[in-house]
Amino acid sequence: MKLHTCSDACPPNCPSQPSAKVWADPDKRPLTVDMHCHVIVPAIEAMTNDRPEKTAELQEQALGMGAVSVEHNKRVMLPAAGRRLVDLDMRLADMESMGVDVQVISPSPSQYYYWADPELAIELVRLQNESIAALCEQHPERLCGLGNVAAQHAELAPRQLEYAVRELGLKGVEISTQVAGRELADASLQPFWAKAEELGCVVFIHPFGTSLGSRIDQYYLANSIGQPLETTIALSSLIFSGTLDRHPGLKLVAAHGGGYLPAYSGRSDHAWRVRPEASAPALPPSGHLHNIWFDTLVYDPVSLRHLIERVGAGQVVAGTDYPFDMGDYQLHRLVDSVEGLSDEEKARILGGNACHLLGLNIDQALQYRAVKKA
């Protein structure tokens, strides 16, 4: 299995090479739930291929990324990831290789389609969410799902969220760091946040592209720097606007370790103390970090250790970004390499926290793994 695209000469210990062999006894490996995994619904592509808005979106993405990165994605990355976005058997085989017991599958951000008008958005979101729910129904012991909402339409998003959770059994939805140019704290999104809190469902915040433009259109900076920065801005917007004060029951999961906010929250705290325009939240920004969940996609043990120190081991969940080449598929090696973690904390990060967040039964999941092995 090859989920990385560095080169054919990539060494066996490449951080992107899947490995679940940290534990000498596989039966003692903690239950592992991957919160950051994507799927594509092919029928959605068929419905949108002739839309000029989609063409414009792709052109904007290409400009922001740069010609070299676009060419590499087209020639190498997307062919490697593309099959895994749609092939369920390949996904399950990869999970075995990685030692992942459960994947929480969510839309590829390329299928947000916030440009869609209300009529099209109703059809797209319904098809997407029903398709993800159908995938989960095929392997309910291995997959659970997050859907999509037309967040650009304030009157649609709450109804779509309720249908996804209450009727389809999805665990929540994924949303970008901006919606049609609006920040996540925009007034138009308040009904969505209220409904998400009412339902007690997960909202996974994951960027699609970046707003930084040509300054980062080289060296794949649009992804390596731009994506985490987008998450930083989105979380900061929700905190400083008072949105999280108004909706303390929200279950937010931030991709890419929450971007740069956990690592540099002291500066945000300082602004909260000394600047009147930044003083709206009841708590300093660092205080809100303890009510958000963050995935482990920070790549190295030192960064993960710092994240855990900032937010607490109970707020960190495993995440790989499957199946893209910016993913990190050494979940167990990463977590096991963090200094000072107890076995209990490792187990919580790898799966226990996600089970609590999603309402999954850990004992049942472990029992299924034992039966499957037998």
Q: Is 107 within a domain?
A: yes
Q: Which helix (H) or strand (E) holds 105?
A: strand 102-107
Predicted confidence (pLDDT) per residue in 53-74, tens digit: 999 998 998 888 999 999 999 9
Q: Is 21 within a domain?
A: no
pLDDT band at 186 (very low <50, low <70, confident <90, very high): very high
Q: Once rounded to an integer, what is the mean pLDDT over residues 239-262? A: 97
Residue 24, pLDDT > 90, answer no
Q: How far apart are the first and last CA of the chain?
A: 24
pLDDT for the residue 10: 57
CATH number at residue 252: 3.20.20.140
Residue 125, pLDDT > 70, answer yes
Q: Is 15 within a domain?
A: no
129-133 contacts, C-beta under 8 A, 24 or more apart? 129/160, 129/163, 129/164, 129/168, 129/170, 130/168, 131/41, 131/43, 131/44, 132/39, 132/41, 132/105, 132/106, 132/107, 132/170, 133/164, 133/168, 133/169, 133/170
Q: Once rounded to an integer, what is the mean pLDDT over residues 37-43? A: 96
| Residue 114 CB contacts under 8 Å (≥ 6 apart), including other chains | 150, 151, 152, 176, 179, 180
Q: Is 181 within a domain?
A: yes
pLDDT for the residue 14: 58
pLDDT for the residue 5: 60
Q: Once rounded to an integer, what is the mean pLDDT over residues 142-157? A: 97
How would you class 172 by CB atoms within 10 Å of its CB: exposed for 0-12, middle for 13-18, buried for 19 or more?
Answer: buried
Predicted confidence (pLDDT) per residue in 301-352, tens digit: 999 999 999 999 999 999 999 999 999 999 999 999 999 999 999 999 999 9
Residue 9, pLDDT > 60, answer no
Q: Is 249 within a domain?
A: yes
Q: Is 26 within a domain?
A: no
pLDDT for the residue 254: 98
Q: Indicate the range of 11-20, 183-192, 260-269 predicted with least confidence.
A: 11-20
Q: Once rounded to an integer, what is the mean pLDDT over residues 215-239? A: 95
Q: What's the number of domains the chain is made of?
A: 1
Q: Once rounded to an integer, what is the mean pLDDT over residues 80-85? A: 93
Q: Once rounded to an integer, what is the mean pLDDT over residues 341-370? A: 88
How would you class 212 by CB atoms within 10 Å of its CB: exposed for 0-12, middle for 13-18, buried for 19 or more?
Answer: middle
**Proportion of the chain above pLDDT 90, given as a percent:** 83
Residue 291, pLDDT > 50, answer yes
How would you class 13 by CB atoms within 10 Å of its CB: exposed for 0-12, middle for 13-18, buried for 19 or more?
Answer: exposed
Q: Once rounded to an integer, what is the mean pLDDT over residues 125-134? A: 98
Residue 277, pLDDT > 80, answer yes
Residue 36, pLDDT > 90, answer yes
Which residues constitute the domain of residue 300? 32-373
pLDDT for the residue 11: 47
Q: Is 27 within a domain?
A: no
pLDDT for the residue 12: 47
DSSP secondary structure letters along 146-161: -B---TTSTTTHHHHH
Q: Is 3 within a domain?
A: no
Cα separation of 358 and 103, whole Å?
Answer: 12
pLDDT for the residue 214: 87
pLDDT for the residue 151: 97
Q: Once rounded to an integer, what is the mean pLDDT over residues 226-253? A: 97
